[in-house]
Amino acid sequence: MAEDSERTPIRVLTVDDHAMVRDGVTALLARQPDMEAVGEAADGKEAIAQFRALAPDITLMDIQMPGMDGVDAIRAIRGFAPEARILVLTTYPGDAQAVRAIRAGAAGYLLKNCIRKELLDAIRAIHAGRRAMSPDISHSLAEHALDEHLTERELAILRMVAEGHPNKQIAWHLELSPDTIKAHLKNIFAKLGVDDRTHAVTVATRRGFFDR
């Protein structure tokens, strides 16, 4: 029985809104004697439905998808299946994005530019109960580990700055005074290590504080 168990392939569900990515992963898994592609999903809601139907060993999850995104899908799946082993596979290297995914329950975070061996090794590692992280993500997480976090209010202000709203409009929308918005922006600049609004948005986007 132990030998039969060892020969059972790792059953993988791939969640990505790009069909070419799903097809590529399926083709890669087909060449592995210890892995099997059991299903696909194109968004978070479909991922939840497919997970319920298929109960895969490993779920490869994209982050940025239309409708329900990957982080919300991870949180939902882990809510009814705490044992679910989910590996994020994304193009977005931001440390803030990675933190959200890990807090939601992801066991690993890889970038789509990783080599095939890295992806396969990560699937095997997570199936064995370990974690897997792209080196770039590990470096970014370590680099910003001691940074002071942006508050929800600061993130809301920064999102509106990214959308091109001036301080007065942000103040009106959030029912705050312009001076309060200026004070918040000063704190945001200090936390991100920047000197102006444009640089703040650039850094926040790169680190994954909000969608691109």
What pTM does this model have?
0.74
For β-strands 35-41 and 58-61, DSSP reports them as unpaired
Token code pair at residue 135: 């080196």
Asked if residue 74 belongs to a domain, the reply is: yes
**Whether 156 and 132 share a structural domain:** no
128: pLDDT strictly greater than 70? yes
Give yes or no for residue 100 having a pLDDT over 60: yes
Distances (CA, A) of 134 to 89, 90, 198: 10, 11, 28
**What is each CA distance from 74 to 83, 94, 176, 181, 195, in whole angstroms?**
12, 17, 35, 34, 35
Mean per-residue pLDDT over the chain, rounded? 90
Query: CATH number of the domain that 176 lies in?
Result: 1.10.10.10
Q: What is the pLDDT of residues 137-190, one digit of tens each?
A: 887 777 676 677 888 899 899 999 999 999 999 999 999 999 999 999 999 999
Tell how many helices (H) and how many strands (E) occur in the chain.
11, 6
Tell me, yes or no, whether 212 lies in a domain. Answer: no
Domain CATH for 139: 3.40.50.2300
Residue 4 pLDDT class (50, 70, 90 cuts): very low
Q: Tell me, yes or no, whether 167 and 109 share the same domain.
A: no
The pairing of strands 86-90 and 132-133 is unpaired
- On whether both 162 and 122 belong to a single domain, the answer is no
Decide which of 118, 143, 168 is a domain's last residue.
Answer: 143
Q: Which of 123, 143, 163 is the last residue of a domain?
A: 143
Does residue 158 share a domain with residue 134?
Answer: no
Six-digit token string for 176: 């705050």
Distance CA 51, CA 137 (A): 26
Range of the domain at 203: 152-207
Q: Is residue 164 part of a domain?
A: yes
Asked if residue 63 and residue 29 are part of one domain, the reply reads: yes
